[in-house]
Amino acid sequence: MDDLYQEIIMDHSRNPKNFGTIDKPDSLNEAINPLCGDSIKIYLTFENNKIANIKFQSEGCAISKASASLMTELLLDKDFHTATSTINEFHKMVTENEKDDPNEEILGDTIVLSNISKYPNRIKCATMCWHAVKESLETHKNN
């Protein structure tokens, strides 16, 4: 299982989905992880309280890129409420070692990152892009 997960992660880091920019995004958020040297920009547009489009640009390690690629696939078209609970569920999966099997129905392919919880110094690589989206959603909701 670990090998399969590893392969999916490498594939997403080599051929990331939704990689690029959006002209005139409703939200643009940047996150950096100085520990690893990762930096990421997340572009979002919203329509009817949904994530209508999401793209990212990043420099850094395979984990940070793969996590952003998997995340954008999962969060595209989600409404604010579902997106926020999905982000919280992902955060739980990668920070709680003893958690039961991750909820694949909510987390989809991002469960390939569940093993990150065993490597505390890599957790930020996987979570930084999710934090950036959460911040964007919170800011947008209050506008």
Q: For Zn ion, how many residues bind (rule: CB under 5 A)?
A: 5
The reply to whether 31 sits near Zn ion by the rule CB under 5 A is no
Which is nearer to Zn ion, 28 or 36 (by Cβ)? 36
Helices 80-95 and 123-141: crossing angle, nearest 10°?
Answer: 160
* Token pair for 109: 């392919």
Q: Under a CB-based contact definition with an 8 Å cutoff, are residues 130 and 87 in contact?
A: yes
* Token pair for 33: 């992880």
Binding mask 35-64 for Zn ion (x = CB under 5 A): -x-x----------------------x--x
96: left (phi over 0), alpha (psi -120 to 50) or beta: beta
Which residues in the 62-101 window bind Zn ion by CB under 5 A? Answer: 64
Binding mask 111-130 for Zn ion (x = CB under 5 A): --------------x-----
Which is nearer to Zn ion, 13 or 27 (by Cβ)? 13
Which is nearer to Zn ion, 40 or 51 (by Cβ)? 40
Which is nearer to Zn ion, 64 or 127 (by Cβ)? 64
Q: List C-alpha distances in Å: 137 to 3, 10, 23, 106, 134.
A: 34, 28, 18, 18, 5
**Least distance from Zn ion to the Cβ atom of residue 122, Å:** 6
Which is nearer to Zn ion, 27 or 114 (by Cβ)? 114
What does the DSSP 8-state code read for residue 20?
S
Alpha-carbon dihedral of residues 16, 80, 98, 34, nearest 10 degrees? 50
Residues near Zn ion, by CB under 5 A? 36, 38, 61, 64, 125
